[in-house]
Amino acid sequence: MSTGDRDARFEYPDSAGYPDGTGILDEGTAALVEEVRAGAVRDVDTPSADAESEVRVHRVDDEHIYAATLRDLRVATIPYEEADDRITVYTTTVEPDFRGRGLATELIAYALDDIRRRGMKLTVRCPVVAAFMEANTQYADLIDAERPSP
Q: Is the pLDDT of residue 143 over 80?
A: yes
Q: Is the pLDDT of residue 106 over 80?
A: yes
**In CATH, what class is 27-142?**
alpha beta
Q: Is the pLDDT of residue 30 over 60?
A: yes
Determine the average pLDDT of the residues in 103-110: 93
pLDDT of amino acid 114: 97
- Work out the pLDDT band at 144, boundaries 50, 70, 90: confident
Determine the average pLDDT of the residues in 22-47: 62
pLDDT of amino acid 36: 79
Determine the average pLDDT of the residues in 79-94: 93
3-state secondary structure of 132: helix
- Residues 138 and 135: their CA atoms lie apart, in Å, by 9
- Residues 25 and 89: their CA atoms lie apart, in Å, by 17
Note the pLDDT tens digit of each residue in 35-82: 777 774 434 444 444 444 588 999 999 999 999 998 889 999 999 999
Phi, psi of 147 (to 5 degrees): -140, 70
The rounded mean pLDDT for the chain is: 78
Neighbours of 87 (CB within 10 A): 23
Cβ contacts of 59 within 8 Å, gap of 6 or more: 65, 66, 67, 111, 114
pLDDT of amino acid 24: 55
pLDDT of amino acid 32: 77
Domain ranges for the chain: 27-142
- Residues 3 and 108: their CA atoms lie apart, in Å, by 21
Determine the average pLDDT of the residues in 115-143: 93
